[in-house]
Amino acid sequence: MNNKQKLVVFLMIVAIGAILYFGPKYKIVKLDANGQNYIKTKSGSSLYKRCKSQVRFEWPIISKFLIPVVIIGPLLILLLKDKRKV
């Protein structure tokens, strides 16, 4: 691997991490003990900050950003392959 390919791999990892860190998240707030009634809170609301439930990712939205990174990254690695080496 040459330096350009290593840079592309590093940028792919940084991009995936940034998408997951800054991507849309939500939490489920149960309104009753049975769990039949609940609210889906987005990451910007004040209820989201006060809620203690598990953080979940909005995968349909996140996948719109991840799929191009996962497709374009390996293509760039193949295109930046050193042509002098056989």
pTM assigned to the model = 0.77
User: pLDDT, tens digit, for every residue of 29-67?
Assistant: 888 777 688 888 888 888 888 888 888 899 999 999 999
pLDDT for position 52: 82
Tokens describing residue 69: 């990174």
53 and 31 Cβ atoms separated by less than 8 Å: no
43: CB partners within 8 A, 6+ apart: 24, 25, 26
pLDDT for position 86: 56
4 and 51 Cβ atoms separated by less than 8 Å: no
59 closest CA partner among 8, 83, 24, 13: 24
Band (pLDDT 50/70/90 cuts) for residue 85 is: low
Tokens describing residue 1: 């691997």
Domain ranges across the chain: 1-23+58-86, 25-57
What integer is the mean pLDDT of 9-15? 96
